Amino acid sequence: MLWRKNLTTTNDVITVENLSKSFGNLEVIKNISFSVHRGEVLGIIGPSGSGKSTLLRCICQLEKVSGGSVSICGSTMVKDGVYAEKNELRRIGLDVGLVFQNFNLFPHFSVLRNITEAQQIVLGRDKDHSREIAMDLLKKMNLETKALSYPCELSGGQQQRVSIARALALKPQVLFFDEPTSALDPELTGEILSVIRDLAKEKMTMVVVTHEMSFARDTSDSLIFMDGGVIVEQGNPREVIETPREERTKAFLRRFNKN
């Protein structure tokens, strides 16, 4: 369909069309389509088990889709369920970064090595250059004094900032966050949200799965509410959260506000 080409502007960092994913007989993602423009923050909210993590993992190549298409920065990763060849997938994989709920730092590496290791192995950067980049990012995260500490010596909020630095060190075109604050105490949550807010001000393209409703409302440019593997509602974050159209969204937000 040629006309579709015109709809997918070069400003699209992510284009997802009719993505589906099943685990055995369990259909977890059902025909989802959306796009994210350069410099935009897409928020994703929804109950546990609605398929949010699976969606992110599919786009970041940690899971294989069952059907549909995904393009990153104009390059086709998978089209109608057929994947690009290996080298192309590897190249496309470098454009995306993922920050996990539980940090996923290497416990036996120092903070510095957690940030330099992938730069050296994945991008082939030399030691000095990768250290320079790591130290700049640690400064930005207010952690320059922790370079030689080990993850277990840091607070959860500090560990999550290290994992954000690790992801940024690879200079991805888009950064995904999968509930980045849900393993943190409320007082540590704020410091991570403020890092993400700063990245948004710098126009980093991001997709953020979160249960922090006021953050989602104020920081995202667009918001998706997912339930049961489908996008139930999508639009202006303030409208989705404050005046949802769909019953399922209303019910979720009501339940949420009670907690």
Ligand X SMILES: Nc1ncnc2c1ncn2[C@@H]1O[C@H](COP(=O)(O)OP(=O)(O)O)[C@@H](O)[C@H]1O
The residues that touch Mg ion, with contacts defined as CB under 5 A, are: 52-53
DSSP string, 34-56: EEEETT-EEEEE--TTSSHHHHH
Q: x/- contact string, 54-93, with ligand X (CB under 6 A)?
A: x---------------------------------------
- Nearer CB in complex with ligand X: 24/107: 24
What's the DSSP call for residue 209? Answer: E
* Binding partner selected for residue 50 from ligand X, Mg ion, none, CB under the kind-specific 5 to 8 Å limit: ligand X
- Output the smallest distance, CB 170 to ligand X, in A: 23
Q: How far is the CB of 63 from Mg ion (least distance, A)?
A: 12
Which CB sits closer to ligand X, 21 or 161? 21
User: Residue 218: which residues within 8 A CB-CB, separation 6 or more?
Assistant: 237
Q: Which does 74 bind (CB under 5 to 8 A by kind): Mg ion, ligand X, none?
A: none
> Are the beta carbons of 181 and 193 closer than 8 angstroms?
yes
> Residue 144 gets which letter from DSSP?
G
Alpha helices (H) in the chain, listed in sequence order: 2-7, 52-59, 86-93, 111-123, 127-140, 156-169, 186-201, 213-219, 237-242, 247-258
Q: Does 53 bind ligand X (CB under 6 A)?
A: yes
Compute CA distances 151 → 20, 44, 136, 158, whole Å. 36, 28, 19, 9
Tokens of 65: 């889709």
Considering only the stretches 35-43, 45-53, 73-81, 184-192, report the one whose residues sit in contact with ligand X under the rule CB under 6 A. Answer: 45-53
28 binds ligand X (CB under 6 A): yes
Instruction: Compute the least distance from the CB of residue 155 to Mg ion, in Å.
Output: 23
Q: Which is nearer to Mg ion, 134 or 224 (CB)?
A: 224
- Shorter beta-carbon distance to ligand X: residue 26 or 152: 26
Nearest approach, Cβ of residue 50 and ligand X (Å): 4
Q: What is the DSSP letter of 31?
A: E
